């Protein structure tokens, strides 16, 4: 096996993986990790959408990349599943969370980081946004934000609650014009579900 | 193999100043002579004659004055050494901060030096990874150790 990371990173991750996989308490909190390669540099994370949030019922996948200098540098984590959240880019999934940047501490683990991301899903920080459009909607029109985030959960995160028929029909109209579903949902969401504005945005 | 080779000799002399290892129990400072002068005849009330030919001595050790049993940085037990060491001891003792959090010396040094943290441009991390208080090595352990020594002498 080619050793791609330092011994400390590898050994620590082995312990961390055991910690997350075997702990039944973790199963109840709704976070999970899956090892994707032998050298433990690529890990898939998964967070169950917390109850009483627009993400409830959804399963959100995350891409976790472990740097060679782990745990002295933070893991690189982003959402793979599309999510409508002020602190996550609706386009790229990049997360704005201080502990993943300058507030990282060597004592943090994948488990505590995933729990922090789950907590961020419960309480967004719109004043420190990653996605300014989502943050603006969150502050100015909370009801619209909630229904949009719920729609995204159903569409992208395998959520099981009923779909908003109104939003669904607008997406279909854009699709009939030849727009990809993902783009249609994204542009409609960014334009507060105004079909005319969305159409103008796409075709101008 | 000579006779002496079979005896286990434990060296627990640790008079280095920077050494934080304390072997428990502390009072038995020189248990070695008994092992060295074998065989030993035991006094007995009967006609039975017992001779101790060989003695296996095992010792248990742990770091003093630290509550938690794993290092928050490498996640290894304190007694199991950090990942870059093979033997516990003087090179990599536990460092206890004024905040009372303890880490392997190599682990906390790498963190405070910010050696490979490209994230903050290699800037130094002056805080404890567990409580974010300013990281300063506590001298309490060494003081306590000296006191103990004075008591025993």
What is the per-residue pLDDT across B85-105, written as a single tens digit (0 to 9) for each?
877 777 788 888 888 888 999
Count of structural domains within chain A: 2
Residues A29 and A112 in one domain: yes
Supply the pLDDT for residue B28. 44
Residues A115 and A145 in one domain: no
CA distance A72 to chain B (A): 6
Residue A98 or A160, more confident: A98
Residues A106 and A152 in one domain: no
Residues A99 and A139 in one domain: no
pTM comes to 0.75
State how far the Cα of B12 lies from the Cα of A106, in Å rounded to an integer.
33
Q: Does the beta-carbon distance from B73 to A104 stay under 8 Å?
A: no
Tell me if A30 is assigned to some domain.
yes
Supply the pLDDT for residue A3. 46
Whether the CB of B83 is below 8 Å from some CB of chain A: the reply is yes
Residues A12 and A88 in one domain: yes
- Please state, rounded to an integer, the average pLDDT across all residues of chain A: 91
Residues A169 and A114 in one domain: no
Final residue of a structural domain among A95, A122, A149: A122
Residues A106 and A161 in one domain: no
CA angle A33, A118, A77 (to 5 degrees): 55
**Reported confidence tier of residue B36, pLDDT bands at 50, 70, 90:** low
Q: Does the beta-carbon distance from A72 to B72 stay under 8 Å?
A: no
Residues A109 and A13 in one domain: yes
- Judge whether A190 counts as a catalytic residue: no
Tell me if A21 is assigned to some domain.
yes
Residues of the domain holding A112? 7-122
Q: Which of A20-29, B28-37, B87-96, B135-144 has the highest mean pLDDT?
A: B87-96
Supply the pLDDT for residue B29. 47
Residues A115 and A136 in one domain: no
- DSSP, collapsed to helix, strand or coil, labels residue B143 as helix
Residues 6+ positions from A66 with CB-CB distance below 8 Å? A5, A9, A13, A40, A41, A42, A43, A75, A76
Helices assigned H by DSSP within B3-117: 32-36, 105-113
Query: Which of A11, A69, A107 lies at the smallest CB-CB distance from B129?
Result: A107
Supply the pLDDT for residue A39. 87
State how far the Cα of B80 lies from the Cα of B70, in Å rounded to an integer.
9
Residues A24 and A114 in one domain: yes
State how far the Cα of A10 lies from the Cα of A69, in Å rounded to an integer.
10
Q: Which residues of B touch A72 (CB under 8 A)?
A: 110-111, 114-117
Name the residue in chain B with its Cα closest to that of A11: B83
Is residue B81 within 8 Å of residue B92, measured between CB atoms?
A: yes
B122-151 confidence digits (pLDDT tens): 456 788 999 988 898 887 655 445 445 555
State how far the Cα of B141 lies from the Cα of B96, in Å rounded to an integer.
8
């Amino acid at each position: 096996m080619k050793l791609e990371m330092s011994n400390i990173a590898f050994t620590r991750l082995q312990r961390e993986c055991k910690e997350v996989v075997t702990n039944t308490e973790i199963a109840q909190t709704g976070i999970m990790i899956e090892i994707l390669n032998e050298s433990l540099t690529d890990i898939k994370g998964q967070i169950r959408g917390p109850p009483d949030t627009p993400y409830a019922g959804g399963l959100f996948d995350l891409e976790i990349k472990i740097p060679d200098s782990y745990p002295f540098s933070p893991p690189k984590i982003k959402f793979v599943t599309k999510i409508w959240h002020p602190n996550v880019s609706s386009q790229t999934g990049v997360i704005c969370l201080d502990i993943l940047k300058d507030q990282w501490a060597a004592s943090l683990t994948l488990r505590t980081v995933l729990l922090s991301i789950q907590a961020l899903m419960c309480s967004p920080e719109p004043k420190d946004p990653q996605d300014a459009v989502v943050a603006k909607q969150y502050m100015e029109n909370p009801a619209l934000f909630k229904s949009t985030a719920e729609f995204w959960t159903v569409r992208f995160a395998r959520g099981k609650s009923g779909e908003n028929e109104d939003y669904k029909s607008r997406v279909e109209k854009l699709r009939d014009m030849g727009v990809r579903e993902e783009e249609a949902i994204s542009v409609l969401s960014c334009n507060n579900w105004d079909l005319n504005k969305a159409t103008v945005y796409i075709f101008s | 193999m000579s006779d002496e080779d079979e005896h286990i000799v434990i060296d627990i002399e640790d008079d280095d100043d920077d050494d934080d290892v304390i072997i428990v129990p502390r009072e038995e400072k020189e248990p070695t002579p008994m092992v060295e002068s074998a065989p030993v005849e035991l006094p007995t009330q009967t006609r039975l004659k017992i001779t101790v030919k060989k003695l296996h001595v095992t010792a248990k050790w742990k770091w003093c004055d630290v509550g938690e049993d794993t290092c928050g940085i490498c996640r290894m037990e304190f007694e199991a050494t950090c990942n870059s060491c093979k033997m516990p001891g003087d090179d990599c003792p536990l460092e206890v901060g004024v905040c009372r959090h303890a880490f392997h010396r190599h682990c906390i040094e790498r963190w405070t030096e910010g050696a490979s943290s490209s994230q903050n441009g290699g800037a130094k991390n002056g805080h404890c990874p567990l409580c974010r208080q300013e990281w300063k090595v506590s001298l309490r352990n060494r003081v306590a150790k000296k006191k103990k020594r004075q008591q025993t002498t």
